[in-house]
Amino acid sequence: MSKRVISLLSLLVIVAMMVAACGATPAPEATTAPAAPEATMAPEATTAPAAPEATTAPEPTTAAPAAVDPNASLNIIFVQHALCAWDSFWCTVENGIKQAAADMNIDATILGPDKFDLEKTAQLIDQAVSAQPDAIGLTVTDADLFRAPIQRALDAGIPVLAYNAGKGPNEDNLAYMTYLGQDEYQGGYQGGQRLVADGGTQGVCINQQVGHTGLDARCQGFVDALAEKSIPAEVLAISDDPASSQTTIADYYAANPDTDVFLTLGPNGANPFYAFYQEAGLSADQVKHGTFDLSPEINAAIKDGTTMFGIDQQPFLQGYGAVMFLVLKVRYGISPAMPVTATGPGFVTVDNVGVVEALAGEYR
């Protein structure tokens, strides 16, 4: 190769390098591309049905903490419409609260009425707000009745979370963080479907707390499921007193002897049903029974065939999770992503009752 050709090639290489260097100069302009604005449009692009719901949620009124302190001493108050002292289901919820409080080094106070009394529960929410705690967990048993005191908590900048009872901030139209619990309507609906899969003549939903929106939703789901099979069903109101409730159930059955599908809504309905069932000399061949929640009595009835299922909403998770979410919010500014954080429904039957039996009343 001649020296002239080599010189020409060398010149071309140098020119190419200069062009490449000049071509790199627009790179800083690329950093001004509107990447961030495009990212903010992501919710509009998604087709998931949850996104439109999230955009309609009430605006949260609480702010993230100014500084992270994982050892901050916290005082959290929990307001419930029921207590372990008179409803055994709540013992498991409260076990979850107490265990989480110990694990996370916080002070937890549990408030509730001495019987089912929503007016008193609303007053206890105001009492909790007046104490100015770091956060409040509560059962939104009646969103309309509880709206004013809950809003006072939000206006005071107190983080609020609903557990066990509620429909989420969207449906309740209250800017609390999330509802941690089960879909009550679906629990009743799916329970009804299971009970009448092989047919039935007449159904009854036994409700120990009429006016509790969650329990009312369970009964509505049950009634709707039976209506789809052209099976009539109604709601029977009882109380949290087992003796009077047994009498009410017995009187109902005497007046409606064709009733062969029963749904109870927890131990306070299931236990008087079992007493009635035994006294009436009934058998699983004559009536079908399903219930919400678990207890030693319910587990035994599932095992011996009296009860088809117990609908498990994981009450320990509701209590433990309520503490966890509130602690994360106050200490780190971390919030749950969805308006409803589901814990159920799940069905415990004779096939899986052995797995949860040893934990019932404490963790299940």
pTM attached to this predicted model: 0.76
pLDDT (tens digit per residue) in 246-274: 999 999 999 999 999 999 999 999 999 99
Strands 75-79 and 135-138: parallel
pLDDT (tens digit per residue) in 303-349: 999 999 999 999 999 999 999 999 999 999 999 999 999 999 999 99
Spacing of C-alpha 296 from chain mean position: 23
**Residue 301: both structure tokens together:** 């009835």
pLDDT (tens digit per residue) in 274-290: 999 999 999 999 999 99
**Residue 79: both structure tokens together:** 């307001």
Question: What would the mean pLDDT of 108-122 be, rounded to a whole number?
Answer: 97
Weakest-pLDDT range from 68-77, 143-152, 275-284, 296-305: 68-77
Calculate the average pLDDT of the chain: 85
- Give the confidence band of 13 by pLDDT, cuts at 50, 70, 90: very low
**Residue 72: both structure tokens together:** 């901050």
pLDDT at 356: 85
**Residue 120: both structure tokens together:** 């008193």
pLDDT beyond 60 at 33: no
pLDDT beyond 70 at 79: yes
pLDDT at 72: 78
Question: What would the mean pLDDT of 108-136 be, rounded to a whole number?
Answer: 97
Q: Domains for the chain: give ranges and CATH numbers.
A: 67-182+314-344 (3.40.50.2300), 185-312 (3.40.50.2300)
pLDDT (tens digit per residue) in 80-89: 999 999 998 9
**Residue keyed to tokens 């609903």:** 162
The half-sphere exposure of 163 on its side-chain side, counting CA atoms within 13 A, is 31
Question: What would the mean pLDDT of 166-175 be, rounded to a whole number?
Answer: 96
pLDDT beyond 90 at 229: yes
